Structure 1
């Protein structure tokens, strides 16, 4: 069986980001995987009922794992606490991945939900820090390999190694 991949909807050209934009990364590889029906296209924030557009939100002085353990908050630049909506977004992403048999995820970096290599520091000043968003953190905790859009080559290698390993004679 071929590996399935949960992929951020904005990376596939859907205008679902907080500001109504997309981050299309539709490489030839993603296009091929889409044709092979390997991709599960999902936007955790939309699944959790957040609107487009919506105010920017950042994790306050922590990371997604801390938020999921109730030790940190996600706040919009308006001051509104949206922690519960983003926690729901994370659980819905995990459910979508598990129900679809995904063992990898390709997510949008920087997002308080999908960031896997970096998130923003909570100051709304554009300062990045190493860390994961809530969905990336929860997916990784449950054994789903998480890659950012800058790691498509690494994801391709990961998939190839998994599939070659399955096809080797015992």
Structure 2
């Protein structure tokens, strides 16, 4: 039975930068939690950033630059968090990841534009990009149906 790396905030852990709950509630997720198939992880907190922290955005892609609104360069912490997330996903043999959308770490397909105006653009957060680079399929909280179908196929192929 495959495991899923999950943004810890989506499982109700108080790790989001504003300390607010982001918990996804769904019977299938609860079943997987009881089965020990969910692997909660927050790249920012794992890299040493505090829970109460200013928002950050990807300011430029090449070379990568992630800053907070005041311009503080947070790139090293975000890169370290991405490396740690990959290590955990590989160690736990996660077959995919369920990540928080729009996050400069976890956003699988959309992030904010780097201007701190909350304008979403196509692109991936640094952790999402690292997981994708290593072949780990990604889903966000708007893609639960797709995640459930993917996991059903995983479970069928493992049986």
Q: Same fold (TM over 0.5)?
A: yes
Q: Provide the TM-score with structure 1 as the length reference.
A: 0.90
Q: 2:115 aligns with which of 114, 123, 132?
A: 123
**Aligned position for 2:39:** 40
Distance 2:66 2:60 in 1: 10
User: Does the CA-based 8 Å contact 1:7-1:106 persist in structure 2?
Assistant: yes
Distance 1:136 1:37 in 2: 22
Residue ranges of structure 1 left out of the alignment (5+ in a row): none
Q: 1:83 aligns with which of 75, 78, 84?
A: 75
Q: Secondary structure at the match of 1:34?
A: helix
Distance 2:54 2:101 in 1: 17
Q: Secondary structure at the match of 1:144?
A: coil
Q: 1:154 aligns with which of 146, 152, 156?
A: 146
Task: After TM superposition, list the pairs within 5 Å mapping 1:93-112 onto structure 2.
Answer: 93-112=85-104
**Aligned position for 1:20:** 19
Distance 2:131 2:72 in 1: 26
**Cα RMSD after superposing both structures:** 1.0
Distance 1:88 1:80 in 2: 16
**Aligned position for 1:51:** 50
Q: Which moved more, 1:155-164 or 1:83-92?
A: 155-164
Q: Secondary structure at the match of 1:136?
A: helix
User: Does the CA-based 8 Å contact 2:57-2:113 persist in structure 1?
Assistant: yes
Deviations 1:66-113 (A, max 9, x none): 5xxxx1200101110000000001001001111111011000000000
User: Does the CA-based 8 Å contact 1:13-1:26 persist in structure 2?
Assistant: no
User: Does the CA-based 8 Å contact 1:59-1:122 persist in structure 2?
Assistant: yes
What stretches of structure 1 move > 3 A for 4+ residues in a row? none
Q: Provide the TM-score with structure 2 as the length reference.
A: 0.96
Residue 27 of structure 1: how far off its partner (Å): 1.0
Residue ranges of structure 2 left out of the alignment (5+ in a row): none
